[in-house]
A and B are shown apart, each in its own frame.
Chain A
Amino acid sequence: MRLALAKHDAAIALSALRGLRGRVVDVLTLLVLVPLLALFVRQWLARLPDDPREMGAFAGASLLTALLAKALIERLWFHRTDGILSRDSQRPREWIAFVAPLLLGGIAIGVGALALLGLVDPGAMALGVCSGLPAGLLFPMAREHLRRWWRRLATRYLRSLPRTPLSLTRAATQSMGVGIVGLIIPSGFYLDAIAAGFYALAVILLTAPVDARVVRYMTLVGHGGASLLRHWLPIQLSLLWPASLVLLAGQAWVPAGVAAVVAIALPVLTALRIFAYRALSRLAADWAVAIVIIAAVYAGVTAPPLGPLIIVGAIVWLARRGAGARWLLA
Chain B
Amino acid sequence: MSAALAITDLTVNRGEVRIVHDVSAAVMPASWFGVIGANGSGKTTLLRAIAGRLPIARGSCALFGEECAQDRSARAQPIGFAPPIEHFPASLRLRQLLELAGDPVDVQQERNRDLWDALELHELLDIPAGECSSGMRQRAAIALAFATPCRIVILDEPFNWLDPVAAFDVRAVLARMVTDGLTLVTALHDLTTLCGFCDSGIVLAKGRVSLKLDTAMLRAGRDDAARFESELVAALR
Contacts and interface: CB of A to CB of B under 8 A. Distances in A.
Contacts of A211: 89, 91
Interface string B15-43: 10000000000000000000000000000
A213 B93 contact: no
Interface string B96-111: 0100111000000000
A218 B147 CA distance: 13
B72 A328 contact: yes
Nearest to B14: A330
B100 A217 contact: yes
A326 B73 contact: yes
B164 to A, nearest CB: 25
Which of A163, A220, A223, A327 is the most central at the interface, judged by chain B CB atoms within 10 Å of its CB? Answer: A327
B77 A213 contact: no
Given A217-B89, A329-B83, A329-B84, A223 B54 contact: no
Nearest to B75: A327
Nearest to B48: A329
Contacts of A223: 100
Contacts of A231: 100
B144 interface: yes
A77 B11 CA distance: 44
B126 A163 contact: yes
Contacts of A330: 54
B53 interface: yes
B80 to A, nearest CB: 11
A70 interface: no
A77 to B, nearest CB: 15
Interface string B48-71: 100011100000000000000000
A214 B72 contact: no
Contacts of B76: 222, 326-327
B87 interface: yes
Interface string B175-190: 0000000000000000
A216 interface: yes
A327 B91 contact: no
Contacts of B89: 211, 213-214, 216-217
Contacts, number: 53
B97 A327 contact: no
A13 B88 CA distance: 23
B83 A213 contact: no
A221 B91 contact: no
B73 A214 contact: no
Given A220-B87, A221-B144, A327 B72 contact: yes
A327 B93 contact: no
In this complex, the interface size class of chain A, counting residues with CB under 8 Å from chain B, is: 10 to 19
A327 B97 CA distance: 15
Contacts of B72: 327-328
Which of B90, B100, B102 is the most central at the interface, judged by chain A CB atoms within 10 Å of its CB? Answer: B100
B92 interface: yes
Interface in A303-320: none
Interface in A8-44: 22
Contact of A220 (B83, B90, B91): B83
A131 to B, nearest CB: 30
Contact of A329 (B54, B97, B100): B54
Contacts of B102: 221
Contacts of B48: 329
Nearest to A326: B73
Interface in A217-234: 217-218, 220-223, 231
A216 B52 CA distance: 16
Interface in B206-229: none
B100 A218 contact: yes
A213 B91 contact: yes
A217 B83 contact: yes
Contacts of B84: 329
Nearest to A327: B76
Interface in A116-172: 163
A222 B93 CA distance: 19
B93 A217 contact: no
Contacts of B97: 217
Interface of A: 22, 163, 211, 213-214, 216-218, 220-223, 231, 326-330
21 contacts: A22-B15, A163-B93, A163-B126, A211-B89, A211-B91, A217-B83, A217-B89, A217-B92, A217-B97, A220-B83, A221-B102, A221-B144, A221-B147, A222-B76, A327-B52, A327-B73, A327-B76, A328-B53, A328-B72, A329-B48, A329-B53
Given A213-B91, A214-B92, A329-B48, 9 more contacts: A163-B93, A213-B87, A217-B87, A217-B89, A221-B100, A222-B77, A327-B53, A329-B54, A329-B87
Interface of B: 15, 48, 52-54, 72-73, 76-77, 83-84, 87-93, 97, 100-102, 126, 144, 147
